[in-house]
Structure 1
Amino acid sequence: MKTSELKASDYNPYYKAYIEALGEVDLMKALKKQVENYPQFLASIPEEKLYYSYAEGKWTVAEVLLHVLDSERVFQYRAVRFARRDETPLPGFDQDKYVPTSGANQRSIGSIIEEYRAIRNSTIALYESFEEGTLKRKGVASNSVMSVGALGFIICGHQKHHRNIIRERYL
């Protein structure tokens, strides 16, 4: 599936910027490309910056990274539920509750990279198991309709969004 195959009705407009930031890409190629290059980016973050926050009340780099991991897990869970035709509406998640309890500032970059690879490889395996029609299935999360395919692109776009923020505001 390519980004151009998504319809506006496949996701909440909130996620449009994440999807558009990817440009015209194939979902599986994007997922696999990121699992190759994102760990290199993470490894390039200076250790003294890992626990740095650019302003009072803002997350540290480590907390941003754990937010990316937690979000991918949540989006992946939504995708499997919708793919399996579970029509139960799913609630949102409060990212601001996740971060303080993530233990991010006690983690090493090596452990974060290892966890990222495990999560992303799990996402890849899940999406490789889907047939083309499965990517078009929809469900409701956070009071918004979302397709399985859109969730995959959101995973990629969300990661890219936070990578750009880390580059611009933290490094």
Structure 2
Amino acid sequence: MISKTEYAPYFEQYIQLVSVEEKSITENLDSSQKEFESILKDVPKEKHSFSYAEGKWTLKEVIQHIIDTERVFCYRALSFARNDKTSLPGMDQDFYVENDNANQRDYNDLIEEMSALRKSTIQLYKSFSDEALLRIGIASNNEMSVRALGYLSSGHQKHHLNIIRERYL
């Protein structure tokens, strides 16, 4: 069971969306990716650049945000698993989206990129020992475990899938 001391309180909203007690990190990663692909693979083209309100991200930007965040989480997990004691910076998600070029990208390329990234994330987590999963590092001025970051990748994706279902589709 994961402890609330392994992640910042803000991340509880994502941890609550995954099956921490019933499924392993890799099982959660796999199931949330399958859900992602089943929901987003056949979205009509007119929805790809849709934004549900002024100033809100488009569907393409949301997908790119999920990709970018997973990459950041994986870098943090790798650093902490390797016992790197460097305090890692935060991520300004709005700055990333302003500079991501998502709306000029092909929608299916974004879906394919997320699929490839998730396969890589699963392999990364399969490579970690039980000891490495429990290692703690600092990111955004908060302590986080490698294990928590794995669950956060799934929970963050599920969080945005819920928003996509409610507001984009």
Same fold (TM over 0.5): yes
Deviations 1:72-109 (A, max 9, x none): 00000000000000001001011111112111111222
Q: Which stretches in structure 1 are left out of the alignment for 5+ residues?
A: none
Q: What is the TM-score with the length of structure 2 in the denominator?
A: 0.95
Matches within 5 A, 1:1-12: 5-12=1-8
Count of residues paired in the alignment: 167
Matches within 5 A, 1:1-171: 5-23=1-19, 24=21, 25-171=23-169
Q: What is the TM-score with the length of structure 1 in the denominator?
A: 0.94
Deviation at residue 36 of structure 1 after TM alignment: 3.0
Aligned-CA RMSD value: 1.1
Residue identity (%): 51
Cα distance in 1 for residues equivalent to 2:128 and 2:153: 16
Q: Which stretches in structure 2 are left out of the alignment for 5+ residues?
A: none
Cα distance in 1 for residues equivalent to 2:35 and 2:105: 21
SS of the equivalent of 2:89 reads: coil
